Amino acid sequence: MGKEVNGVSRSRFEMFTNSDEAVINKKLPKELLLRIFSFLDVVTLCRCAQVSRSWNVLALDGSNWQRIDLFDFQRDIEGRVVENISKRCGGFLRKLSLRGCLGVGDSALRTFSQNCRNIELLSLNGCTKITDSTCNSLSKFCPKLKHLDLASCTSITNLSLKALSEGCPLLEQLNISWCDQVTKDGIQALVRCCPGLKGLFLKGCTQLEDEALKHIGAHCPELVTLNLQTCSQITDEGLITICRGCHRLQSLCVSGCANITDAILHALGQNCPRLRILEVARCSQLTDVGFTTLARNCHELEKMDLEECVQITDGTLIQLSIHCPRLQVLSLSHCELITDDGIRHLGSGPCAHDRLEVIELDNCPLITDASLEHLKSCHSLDRIELYDCQQITRAGIKRLRTHLPNIKVHAYFAPVTPPPSVGGSRQRFCRCCVLL
């Protein structure tokens, strides 16, 4: 092998001779061509590789394959493809997504781990064949791993988390959503050895209890994002520990955690002023009292999902309109106590004119066309949900559209039973769901 130039040996460049008639190959230095190829996606690189022998060498050079996402290219790949990729890319590869590749198993990923020891981001989301053996391989060979997505890999157990804790201390983000065999023991092992964790996605890990959250709160001071959706066993006790230990928290999802109360909203307000996203759908014990404390202390809130928080009233909207000027997305579906007056305050608040983009009001029976009038000045409003708001009319939506012509309005109008036809047959139409 000759001296390397930008990762390609001079001997490789020797094949670019005058016999290669393409003008681009004559005019541009091969180092520059290689640089250009580095910006191409997987599909384009493969096409370029078929143009000529010289382009094949450049296109398939490992330095061009630092980031690979096969999801939009081919989802039914087998393990041998991953093995071939790993052998070609070697130490160049930094990011690989095998999301949804059902045919990839432990054996292929062991070969991958051995060859691609500089991998930093790896998505195995939906790769249902993999087991704890894959995490053992990653632990042994991939110490630079920072982001790992194992969502829906249902064979993963606590052994995987213990292995990752031993071999991947730089781990910053881990997604083990729907890995429902994981318990507090796995979480404890993970967080004790990975103090830099910033994102934990534990959606659907139904065996997790407050004890697991206490370990997170005690060992993850850098935590920014936490998803605990449908972890139905957790209570205020564990979440308060999170709030007190994770002051950098910006995104929290506890939707479906029906045991939590206003105590959580008070703890967030007192400890997590950087909070931007809060999802508490179906947490029916939360009230205006808790949201008042939250709004008065968390002024950076941008997205809130309050669907089926059935106890909240216009009081919550008043507080949000006053104290949360950055609010962009707000879901109030099935909050049946919300009225036009609450929407009026929201529509006149500081977030309304330039920030508010989405508002969901499905199944809010007290909402009328007056609410749409209050939202006319929300110039950034992109979408509004109005399914089963029985006092909303087509005329009201039409008036809103005159002020916001590009808005997407999703509404439902029950079909009107046509009267019996008199004097001749008439075609009847039943239009139930209308996308306006």
Mind listing the domains of the chain with CATH numbers? 24-64 (1.20.1280), 271-413 (3.80.10.10)
The tens digit of pLDDT for each residue in 292-339 reads 999 999 999 999 999 999 999 999 999 999 999 999 999 999 999 999
pTM, 2 dp = 0.85
Cβ-Cβ contacts under 8 Å for 420 (sequence gap 6 or more):
none
How confident is the model at residue 346, as a pLDDT? 96
Contact by Cβ (8 Å): 341, 313: no
353-364 pLDDT, tens digit each: 889 999 999 999
Residue 21 CB contacts under 8 Å (≥ 6 apart), including other chains: none
CA distances, 365 to each of 177, 307, 315, 353 (Å): 35, 14, 17, 25
- CA 46, distance to chain mean position in Å, is 29
Tokens linked to 160: 């995987």
CA distance 130 to 155: 7
Radius of gyration for the alpha carbons in the chain, expressed in angstroms and rounded? 28
Segments in the chain below pLDDT 70? 1-22, 26-27, 42-43, 45, 49, 59-60, 62, 64, 70-76, 414-436
Q: How far apart are CA 235 and CA 90, in angstroms?
A: 46
**β-bridge mates for residue 227, sequence order:** 201, 253
pLDDT of residue 73: 58
The predicted pLDDT at position 354 comes to 86
What is the SS3 assignment for 277?
Answer: strand
Residue 118 Cα distances to 34, 133, 194, 251, angstroms: 21, 19, 18, 29
Taking each helix axis from N to C terminus, what angle separates 340-348 and 314-323, rounded to the nearest 10 degrees? Answer: 0
Please name which of 359, 411, 415 lies closest in space to residue 389, comparing C-alpha atoms: 411
At 424 the pLDDT is 47
**What is the spatial distance between Cα 393 and Cα 397, in angstroms, rounded to a whole number?**
7
Phi first, then psi, for residue 409 (nearest 5°) are: -115, 120
The answer for residues whose C-beta is within 8 angstroms of residue 425's C-beta and 6 or more apart is none
**Residue 41: partners with Cβ closer than 8 Å, 6 or more residues away:** none
Query: In the prediction, which pLDDT does 51 show?
Result: 79
Other beta carbons within 10 angstroms of residue 124's beta carbon come to 27
The pLDDT of residue 219 is 97
* pLDDT score recorded for residue 431: 41
